[in-house]
Amino acid sequence: MSPATTVLTAIDATIAWQEELYRHLHQNPELSMQEAETAAEVTRRLESFGYAVQQIGGGVVGVLDNGPGATVLFRADMDALPVEETTGLPYASTRTSVDAEGVTVPVMHACGHDLHITAGLGAAEILSRNRDAWSGTYIALFQPGEETAQGARSMVDDGLVDKVPTPDVAFGQHVLAFPEAGKVGTTGGPILSTGACIRVKAWGKGSHGSMPHLGVDPVLLAAAIVQRLQGIVSREIAPTQFGVVTVGSLQAGFKANIIPDHATLLLNIRAYETEVREQLLSAIERIVTAECEASNSPKPPEIELYEPFPLTANDEATNARVTEAFRAFFGEDRVVQMPPMPASEDFSTIPNAWGIPYTYWGFGGFTPEMNALPNHNAAFAPAIQPSLRTGTEAAVVAALAYLGKAE
């Protein structure tokens, strides 16, 4: 038997508390960069497993030094989303919180980070209980603020690199609608795109609704911008390249008979290649500026980039080693090839801070009988099992691919 198989024979003892913790976390979600209760819970658990624990930049890092050998870092994210839960589960969230803009919003673990935390803690306990099966150092890292691209950066800015041993390799995972529950999906190279949000404020000139000729209508201007932006991906990006431009929010005015003085647009972009990302950004700036001029806008638009997400590109050799270990443990049919996804992550900020290789994989959250929903959906409710067990096993198997003792 491989070290992973030996170590994971006793997983049922861990599963019992994991399911209870998962329901608790699901019912008590916290917004990005507000994960105080979650971080306290993670800290308590890691300490009880014998880890040396530190709070870094809103996150929690537990280090388990178990003799000579490699150092492996496993990262889980802890934040929830401003979404009103509609799952109808007995442990559904009814929480609200005040967001960064001071607005009271509902909060829900609609991205499954509650599963990530629970799987990460389960793996941490299993590795601690089975120290005779491996040698090296295991780092269990729990980061805040993934959804807003702030959390990994916050930990790095708070000195992560100097506060914990330098890992040889870093891992991250995400529960997804594909593959099906019980399976893991891996790939070498790019797996998640770069992403960014852009806030555009386009200026008009307010007027009475009956006297449009005396004003500059920012509603018409914003509509022209939205239309024209659609040409970037379809007409400017090569058909073989990947790029997305979405206008997720468009706001102007409050009343039918008042022409407002400005419109605000919130855009989201995705790309794999740096050149494509630059092309999207410069095309957006060019179009917004030109449309404002075309509308006789009284002053130049404000264009602000926020929540920039880095590229997630798996190291080929690391992915190959982990995929091989997954196949040996789960069997060929439970390890699928993951297509690159248009979503984004800030995970790579952590390994990139050290310049170490990493790999990031997906694990299934829905059985074939279920209606598999995309992450961020208000009814996102993965099957606790086999999802939680698979996520926990995957973390242990990947770690032991570097830390396990040959038998």
Q: Which of residues 176-205 bind Zn ion (CB under 5 A)?
A: none
Task: Give the CB-side neighbour count of residue 311, counting CA atoms within 13 A.
Answer: 15
DSSP state string for 255-271: STTEE-SEEEEEEEEEE
- The rounded distance, in Å, linking the Cα atoms of 21 and 48 is 15
Nearer residue to Zn ion within complex by CB, 111 or 313: 111
Residues 42 and 36: their CA atoms lie apart, in Å, by 10
Indicate the residue type of 391. G
Minimum distance from residue 373 beta carbon to Zn ion (Å): 13
Task: Closer to Zn ion by CB, 262 or 270: give it.
Answer: 270
Task: For Zn ion, give the closer residue by CB, 63 or 192.
Answer: 192
How far apart are alpha carbons 295 and 220 in whole angstroms?
A: 8
Which residue's CB comes closest to Zn ion? 111
Q: In the complex, what is the shortest distance from the CB of residue 147 to Zn ion, in angstroms, rounded to a whole number?
A: 5
* Minimum gap (Å) between residue 280 Cβ and Zn ion: 21
- Part in contact with Zn ion (CB under 5 A); list of ranges 42-50, 108-116, 199-207, 255-263: 108-116
Exactly one of 42, 46, 111, 271 binds Zn ion (CB under 5 A); that residue is: 111
The beta-strand segments (E) located in 312-357 are: 312-314, 335-337
Distances (CA, A) of 53 to 13, 43, 47, 134: 23, 7, 6, 20
- Pairing assessment for the beta strands 52-56 and 104-106 based on DSSP bridges: unpaired
Q: Which is nearer to Zn ion, 3 or 310 (by Cβ)?
A: 310
Instruction: Select 111 or 229, whichever has its Cβ closest to Zn ion.
Output: 111
Question: In whole angstroms, what is the distance from residue 381 CA to residue 102 CA?
Answer: 28
For residue 301, what are its two tokens? 């638009």
* Count of residues in contact with Zn ion, rule CB under 5 A: 1
Q: How far apart are CA 144 and CA 30, in angstroms?
A: 10
Cβ distance to Zn ion smaller for residue 50 or 340: 340
**Choices 27-35, 111-119, 183-191, 211-219; region in contact with Zn ion by CB under 5 A:** 111-119
60 binds Zn ion (CB under 5 A): no
Question: Least separation, in Å, of the C-beta of 81 and Zn ion?
Answer: 7
Residue placing its CB nearer to Zn ion in the complex, 111 or 288: 111
Instruction: Please report, for residues 245, 248, 292, 312, the alpha-carbon distance to residue 226 in angstroms, rounded to integers and kept in the order given.
Output: 10, 10, 12, 29
Choice between 22 and 49, CB closer to Zn ion: 22
In angstroms, give the least distance from the CB of 375 to Zn ion: 5
Given a contact cutoff of 8 angstroms between Cβ atoms, the answer to whether 197 and 207 are in contact is no
CB of 152 to Zn ion, least distance (A): 12
Closest approach, Cβ 290 to Zn ion, in A, equals 34
Query: CB under 5 A: which stretch of 110-118, 165-173, 178-186, 294-302 binds Zn ion?
Result: 110-118
Question: Closest distance between Zn ion and the C-beta of residue 295, in Å?
Answer: 36
Contact footprint for Zn ion (CB under 5 A): 111
